[in-house]
Amino acid sequence: MRPKHFQVSLVWLAGFAAAAHACDTWVALRDATADRSVILAKNSDRPPMEAQPLVQVSRGKHQLGATVKCTYITIPQAAETYEHIGSKIWWAFGYEHGMNEHGVAIGNEAVWSKEPYQWGDGLLGMDLVRLGLERGKTAYEAMHVMVELLVKYGQSGDCERDGEWGKANYHNSFLIADPTEAWVLETAGRYWVAKRITHGVYSISNIYSIEKDWDEAHPGLVEHAVEMGWTKSAQTFNFSRDYGDYWRKDSKDPGNMQIRRNMSLACLRKDFAQVTPASMMKISRSHLEGTLVEPRWGASESFWSTPCLHDSARNGYHSAASIVAHLRAGMPALLRQVYWASFSNPCSNVFKPFYLNGPKIPANYGAGTSTYSGDSPWWLANRVKLLCDLNHNALAPAIRGVFDLTERSAMERQNRLEAEARKLIEAGREAEAVKRLQEFIDGNCARADKEY
pLDDT in tens, 76-95: 999 999 999 999 999 999 99
Mean pLDDT of 413-430: 97
pLDDT value of residue 315 = 77
Instruction: Report pTM.
Output: 0.93
* The pLDDT value given to residue 251: 57
Nearest to 213 by CA among 189, 245, 244, 237: 237
Band of the pLDDT at 352, cuts 50, 70, 90?
Answer: very high
Is 159 a known active-site residue?
Answer: no
Report whether pLDDT(3) > 90: no
**For 275-305, how does the pLDDT look when each residue is reduced to its tens digit (9 = 90+)?**
999 999 999 999 878 777 777 777 877 777 7
Among 399, 444, 411, which Cα is nearest to 35's? 411
CA distance 320 to 49: 9
Q: For the residues 147-151, what does the mean pLDDT come to?
A: 98
CA distance 308 to 320: 9
- Listed in sequence order, the residues at least 6 apart from 235 whose beta carbon sits closer than 8 Å to its beta carbon are none
**Is pLDDT above 60 for 266?**
yes
**Whose CA is closest to 180, among 346, 29, 287, 397?**
29
Question: Once rounded to an integer, what is the mean pLDDT over residues 6-26?
Answer: 48
- The fraction of the chain above a pLDDT of 90, given in percent, is 78
pLDDT for residue 22 = 66
Average pLDDT over residues 320-324: 98
Section 374-390 average pLDDT: 95
Q: Residue 21: pLDDT above 60?
A: no
Give me the chain's average pLDDT, please.
91
**pLDDT value for 249:** 62
The catalytic residue among 23, 159, 347, 388 is 23
